[in-house]
Structure 1
Amino acid sequence: MSTDLDRVLARIDADLDGSLERLFTWLRIPSVSTDKAYAADCRRAGEWLARELAGLGFEAGLRETPGHPIVLGHAPREGAPHAMFYGHYDVQPVDPLNLWETPPFEPRIADLGDGRKAIVARGACDDKGQVMTFVEACRAWKAVTGVLPIGLTMLVEGAEEDGSKHLPEFVEANRAELKDRYGTCVALVCDTGMWDRRTPAITVSLRGMVYEEIIVRCADRDLHSGLFGGAARNPVHVLARIIADIHDENGRITIPHFYDGVPETPPEVLDQWKALNLTAEEFLGGVGLKYPAGEKDRMLIEQIQSRPTCDVNGIIGGYTGEGTKTVIAGEASCKISFRLVGDQDPKAISANFEAFVRERIPADCSVEFIRHKGSRALALPYDMKDLRRAQAALEEEWKVAPVTIGSGGSIPIVGDFKRTLGLDTLLVGFGLDDDRVHSPNEKYDLTSFHKGIRSWARILAALAA
């Protein structure tokens, strides 16, 4: 017997051309948020989406911010769970324009030569194509049944590529509307990727961040190395020794209490990751490397997903111009970032790191720290009911169990959803590693778009259960 979901999936298949045309219409709007010259286009892209949502029965419109407007829409359903979907309608700049094979805001279907077809345009994957997988799933449900399976709030911003500067304050100011009014129970995000083009993934953790700059000062000016070399303290040497001390020979970070709050990944998840057989050759070979540099007693996949890290992002000191200049610098500086996991406390990491550095500063030298905003890591409970439902829905669509993975990067607004609204977030995306996100000739596989719509249709039905 045909079910509502069967009919919805059939509708998605039959209306794929219509879904593509709607996406293409949106992709033609050059909503580059970081360039003021495109401010009117950003608003136009928001207005377009608001009209689409209104046509699907959402009470939708633009909400003003000091920057680009936010699209907000509500479609409650009495007696059903309520979720909030987040995405963004702004896109990255297109530079360098000369590397695009066709104009970036004239979307097209390209044949990739291996039986795959892809949508090519700026925003095709990040994030308009991904947002539209969800919108089109909603459209199919409305067309077939007249209602959505669950209540939904749509929150789609226009400044993600510009740092989401005003979104946290918007979420804080509108907590009652976003969380309390409808009893919102989970957030949904489609701005991540698949494990590979046949294996879906749910991102269950995001690493947090601590970022610091260190300035080491020794002499009160640059010195002639012929006169002062061997006697005067060199801040580049001091800084280099500090940096070298941060890691031991096994790749572990030596800062005291650094691993406080770092959890062990459940054995069943480690078994799943091990079965993926991610090799150094596969992961590092493409960037000209061979050997993992992280903790030697951890799998490569753990190093990039579930373990904390410390990296030097830049070093400045002495003469760096063309030719020679024999000086001992008066000061040297570096920028260092930490990626955090589990319950690591950004403030504690900062304090312990600064103490670690001060212990290594010679008595006649000084150090200054410039602290940047930190963020905690986020992780879903592995036994979360909505996570299990989404996993089952994805497996039904793709005929392979989805991978639950951690992200080495950070999506700060997801932290605000947790801290401000008390919402866990399901991150389900259909991007691929070769989608050239932020680069010329950005693409989104046609299969990712089509099966992404079908996947969200199934997830909505699963959440309704």
Structure 2
Amino acid sequence: MDYKAYFEDNREQHLNELQEWLSIPSISALSEHKGDVHKAAEWLAAKLTEAGLEHVEIHETKGHPLITADYLHAEGKPTVLVYGHYDVQPVDPLHLWETPPFEPSIRDGKLYARGATDDKGQLFLHVKAVEAILKQEKELPVNIKFCIEGEEEVSSPNLPLFLEENKEKLAADVVLVSDTSLLAPGKPAISTGLRGLCSLELSLNTANTDLHSGSYGGGVPNALHAMVELLSTLHDKQGRVSVEGFYNGVQELSPEMREEFAKQQFDEEKLKQDLGLDALYGEEGYSFVERIGARPTLELNGVYGGFQGEGTKTVIPKEAHAKITCRLVANQDPQACLDAIEAHLNAHTPVGAKLTISPKEKAYAFNIDPSHPMLQKAADAYETVYGTRALFTKDGGSIPIVEKLSSTLNAPTVMMGFGLPDENLHAPNEHFNLENFDKGLLTIVEYLKRV
């Protein structure tokens, strides 16, 4: 079958449909858009039905709806579960958008709208790829299932329970996700790791009131001084986290994985120039791409206290605060990391200061062996369409639900992304390069046939 011709013939219709979906402001984080989120779910359910999928259901949750569908007529063949999300990020700051975020616009071969690349545009590819095979061949080469949620942008609060309660319904040989990026135009990538997460906030209190620095300076504890001293103990001079037990479970990078990183040919000098930096920073012995993709981190996201206004106020602050986020890698336990950090902070709290710690987010890292046949078939599919085989990477960000999908369903997860790193996901002027819209459709068809 000539799928290239099929998609070219139907391209205008497909893009019109996607723009219709993108015009629905399905912002899951804002209660005022609850109706819009539901409308976007209903739109998708209708398109799944039109595509030929069966048992299309909208499942109500305590938050926003989940959608499932399937087509299970390929006896003896593998089952592929497609995961994605139809909710989108808020659009602020609105004045930075060149065109309204929910009035899709095509300019210079790019489709601009909120959700264009994250994740409506990428998810839409799977719907149309399945539809194309059914229309042309009247059957699928695999069994297919869809599980689509409307809460990924608010950390998927209801999907884990749904997965636990519907293991049999969602059972699959492979989970297929398109919510990541190529390395660069024409350079496909398959993520074999997403970092996990844990975070906390801490406060230090000294006196029961702010004090005059002339009357008390040099004679009483200063909360800001104490906070600076405490935070300085978290890293050593080589960029390693100094918390005892923080690296428990962390495995050294294999020669094969380091070779994959090296193949990216990442230009660290250009990065420094682009960011206006004199030097990069991080754990000694690792390249930039290794540090951000395959090593754990502890970062200060906010440090504040004392007088913040214009001018001078000679005050000794009674309290100081900090926000910390850790990115974790495979085999690190988020709770164990939080416990280790808390023990370290308590052990190093300066004299005269009282420490309060509030743990926040927790999520496990996702990791998969790139030699798995399902990933190798994906790399082959990319090569067929893009003319170059996908590299195996590890992403520095976190998509907590990916690990949950893999562990709950006991199935390998293949991250086949078609976005690009500069497509402004979560930012104004989000867009999707239509070259990857076209090639993404062909790559998914190729992958399903190879599976």
TM-score tier, shorter chain, comes to: over 0.9
Q: Give the letter for the 2:378 counterpart.
A: A
Q: Structure 1 residue 225: deviation in Å? A: 1.4
On the 8 A contact 1:341/1:377 being kept in 2, the answer is yes
**Map of 2:266 onto structure 1:** 278
Q: Once superposed, what is the RMSD of the aligned Cα atoms?
A: 1.7
Separation in 2 of the partners of 1:95 and 1:30? 13
Partner residue of 1:51 out of 25, 31, 46: 46
**Structure 2: how far apart are the matches of 1:232 and 1:206?**
45
Of residues 14, 18, 30, the one that matches 1:19 is: 14
* Separation in structure 1 between the aligned mates of residue 352 and residue 33 of structure 2, nearest angstrom: 52
* Aligned match of 2:403: 415
Within a 5 Å distance, the mapping from 1:20-169 to structure 2 comes to: 20-55=15-50, 56-77=52-73, 78-111=75-108, 117-169=109-161
Deviations 1:152-174 (A, max 9, x none): 11111112223322222222222
Matched with 1:267 is 255
Task: Give the counterpart letter for 1:52 in structure 2.
Answer: K
User: What is the Cα deviation at residue 387 of structure 1?
Assistant: 0.8
Specify the SS of the correspondent of 2:363. coil
SS of the aligned residue for 2:356 comes to strand
Aligned counterparts of 1:10 and 1:265: Cα–Cα separation in 2? 43
Measured against aligned partners, the alpha-carbon deviations of 1:307-351 in whole angstroms (never above 9, x if no partner) come to 111100111222222322222122212111111112122222122
> CA contact under 8 A between 1:346 and 1:374: conserved in structure 2?
yes
1:435 aligns with 2:430: no
Corresponding letter in the other structure for 1:42:
V
Structure 1 residue runs of 4+, over 4 Å off? none
Q: Is the 8 Å Cα contact of residues 280 and 291 (structure 1) preserved in structure 2?
A: no
Count the aligned residue pairs.
449
SS of the residue aligned with 1:15? helix
Q: Look up the SS of the partner of 1:338 in the other structure.
A: strand
Pick from 385, 391, 396 the counterpart of residue 373 of structure 2.
385
Cα displacement (A) at 1:409: 0.9
Q: List gaps (5 residues or longer) in structure 2.
A: none
Of all paired residues, the percent bearing the same amino acid is: 38
Report the alpha carbon displacement of residue 363 of structure 1 after superposing the two structures with TM: 4.2
For 2:3, which of 8, 26, 43 is the aligned residue? 8
8 Å contact from structure 1 (residues 9, 457) kept in 2: no
C-alpha distance in structure 2 between counterparts of 1:253 and 1:91, whole Å: 34
How far apart, CA to CA, are the structure 1 residues paired with 2:161 and 2:14? 33
3-state DSSP of counterpart to 2:331: coil
Work out whether residues 206 and 408 of structure 1, in 8 Å CA contact, stay in contact via their aligned partners in 2: yes
Q: CA deviation at 1:16?
A: 2.0
The structure-2 alpha-carbon separation of the partners of 1:382 and 1:433, relative to structure 1 and needing over 3 Å to count, comes to closer
Classify the secondary structure of the residue corresponding to 2:299: strand
Cα deviation digits, residues 363-405 of structure 1 (max 9, x gap): 4432111111322211011221101111111111111121111
Contact persistence 1:219–1:233 (CA under 8 A): yes
Structure 1 CA distance for aligned equivalents of residues 164 and 58 of structure 2: 17
Structure 1 letter corresponding to 2:239: G
Correspondence for 1:403:
391
The whole-number CA distance in structure 2 between the counterparts of 1:265 and 1:398 is 28
Tell me the TM-score normalized by structure 2: 0.95
Superposed CA offset, 1:200-243 (max 9, x none): 11111011111111212222222221122112112211211221
Among candidates 238, 241, 244, match of residue 256 of structure 1 = 244
**Cα–Cα, structure 1 residues 416 and 231, in superposed 2: closer, same or farther, change >3 Å?**
same
Distance 2:53 2:132 in 1: 13
Q: Distance in 2 between matches of 1:137 and 1:143?
A: 10
Paired AA for residue 323 in structure 1: G
Give a deviation string over 1:251-271, Cα, whole Å, max 9, x none: 111111222211122212312
8 Å CA contact 2:175, 2:406 repeated in 1: no
Deviation at 1:456, TM superposition (A): 0.6
For structure 1, the residue ranges without an aligned partner over 5 or more in a row are 1-5, 112-116
Matched, 1:239 2:227: yes
1:224 maps to 2:220:
no
Contact 1:280–1:290 (CA<8 Å) still a contact in 2?
A: no
Partners in 2 of 1:35 and 1:342 — Cα distance?
33
